[in-house]
Structure 1
Amino acid sequence: MPGNNTDSIPLWPLLLYAGLVSILLVVILTLSYILGQHHRDRATGKPYEGGIEQTGSARIRFSAQFYLVAMLFVVFDVEAVFIMLWALGFYELGWRGYIGVAVFIGQLTVVLVYEWGIGALNIGANAKKILKVHMMKQLQNK
């Protein structure tokens, strides 16, 4: 097939690079093992963070609501990247780009209002329930 030069691209530079990286990896890990400290103190295996001693298990159950809010954060964070990329090409895109991003932001706003309305963003205690219980206790005390 005329114009197809993919057969003439040498493969040896890629193999040489992969071989050098592999050798360097083995050398670094071996030196780290040989020269590193080997001690078995009592506190060596204990997790330590910020000067706080470990209490209880690290296996804490989180509400599914927490993961929903985390996913929504990631989704809106990715959308922010798209908007920043649009801002970089603002002058080249002109009015068509501006209208496109305005529609995009409008859709994001509608989705955010919807999620807020159905309570998808509430991960804490329900403030209305707490207020209702508090008011009932006050009425019972009178």
Structure 2
Amino acid sequence: MVDLSQYLPILIFLGIALLLSGAFVALPILVSRLTGADKPNAEKLSEYECGFPAFEDSRSQYDVRFYLVAILFIVFDLEAAFLYPWAVSVFDLGWTAWISMMIFIGELALGLVYAWKMGALDWE
């Protein structure tokens, strides 16, 4: 038979976590209703990020180039994330690690050249 008393601290922790997360959601809503901060008007519903009304519908489709640039940024940002730990420990790892990283950088350079030639980095 399994002793369920071992799970009591976990259940207490989960109960406190649920209580606190519920409080973090419910208390601001309750306070805004009590203080009158939830009453919308023209000033509260106006644009606040750029300071002027939008020229067109905010649900219009974005150009696919935004996504291409984002994906290319993520790929080359991950390259930097792999290079830093490798650079710290390259002398301990030996020639095999150096050669494999050069192959990795070469593949990424070929990918960059390919993206450049295909026009993924051109902006009109």
Instruction: Report TM bin, short chain.
Output: 0.7 to 0.9
Letter in 1 for 2:7: L
Letter in 2 for 1:106: G
Q: Give TM-score, length-normalised by structure 1.
A: 0.68
Determine if the alignment matches structure 1 residue 39 to structure 2 residue 35.
no
Residue 102 of structure 1 deviates from its aligned partner by: 1.3
Determine if the alignment matches structure 1 residue 13 to structure 2 residue 9.
yes
Determine if the alignment matches structure 1 residue 56 to structure 2 residue 76.
no
Determine if the alignment matches structure 1 residue 78 to structure 2 residue 75.
no
Is the 8 Å Cα contact of residues 69 and 121 (structure 1) preserved in structure 2?
yes
Q: Supply the distance in 2 between the matched residues of 1:118 and 1:42 (Cα, whole angstroms).
A: 47
Identity across the alignment (%): 34
Q: Supply the distance in 2 between the matched residues of 1:50 and 1:119 (Cα, whole angstroms).
A: 31
Q: Give TM-score, length-normalised by structure 2.
A: 0.76
Show CA shifts across 1:8-37 (max 9, x none): 9x3322222111011112223332122222
RMSD after superposition: 2.5
Q: Supply the distance in 1 between the matched residues of 2:54 and 2:118 (Cα, whole angstroms).
A: 38
Aligned counterpart, 1:27: 23
Show CA shifts across 1:90-142 (max 9, x none): 332232222221111111111111221122222x23xxxxxxxxxxxxxxxxx
Aligned counterpart, 2:115: 115
Give SS of 1:89's match: helix
5+ residue gaps, structure 1, are 1-6, 126-142
Aligned counterpart, 1:133: none
Larger radius of gyration: 1
Q: Supply the distance in 1 between the matched residues of 2:95 and 2:72 (Cα, whole angstroms).
A: 29
Q: Which runs of 4+ in 1 moved over 4 A?
A: none
Letter in 2 for 1:108: L
Letter in 2 for 1:104: F
Q: Supply the distance in 2 between the matched residues of 1:19 and 1:108 (Cα, whole angstroms).
A: 48
